[in-house]
Amino acid sequence: MSLISSFRLVLAKPHPAGRPFIYGGVAVAVLGGLILGKWLFWPGVAFTLFCLYFFRDPERVPPPRPGVVIAPADGRVVMVGPAVPPAELGLGDVPRWRVCIFLSVLDVHVNRVPVDGVVTRIAYRHGAFLNASLDKASDDNERNALAIRMPDGRDVAVVQIAGLIARRILCHVRELDQVTAGDRFGIIRFGSRTDVYLPEGVRPLVAVGQLMIGGETVVADLNATTGTRA
């Protein structure tokens, strides 16, 4: 990545979900600067700058290659393996390949649609706030799950999972919405994880430890199947 590209990433406009936090930080800084003193001004400035960085929402260019699943989030792959999709999505109990992406507070937290299709189911579930990098976070943590049916009838699931300090999952799409790969569909505030469940028989092309760029990195080739099960 070039230096100019790096600056563009850092200085990208913030996601609308960050505005209350940014405005709040500015208000604290102004209040401190005009009335209460520097002891409040500098923390307000620091918080505002952090929120501008955390809520940055850079433009992404999905690969022009048809028939692929792209990463739904920035971050690092922490798990790759077969798993049953969340029961609330109604996708059955047959294990399929799952890729788990952990987002630190330094990653872009805007979630993106992994495939073209129609949102057939959205299911939110309350839960705990364990470290999102743990395997049991998939079952125990607060989460919001989406099922997307592609034009060929196959389903992909993507799950927003709250983390240790995350306290708000936002989803901007609705059931029956037509979505396109790379579209923004939500954001998770302050540390989280995003899982993607591939169609049955489709294997991932990524490995544990690999860095993902949401909306750009290819996770799987839908045309390369290995049978009906993971």
Cite the active site residues: 192
Report the distance separating Cα 170 and Cα 188, nearest Å: 6
Backbone angles phi, psi at 123, to 5 degrees: -135, 120
CA 213, distance to chain mean position in Å, is 10
Strand ranges, E, within the chain: 68-70, 75-83, 96-103, 110-112, 117-125, 143-149, 155-162, 169-171, 178-179, 184-188, 192-197, 202-204, 211-212, 218-225
130: tokens are 């364990």
Which DSSP string corresponds to 92-132? -S--EEEEEEEE-TTS--EEE--SSEEEEEEEEE--B---T
Write b or e for each residue in 22-41: b if 16 or more Cβ atoms lie within 10 A of its Cβ, otherwise e.
beebeebbeebeeeeeeebb
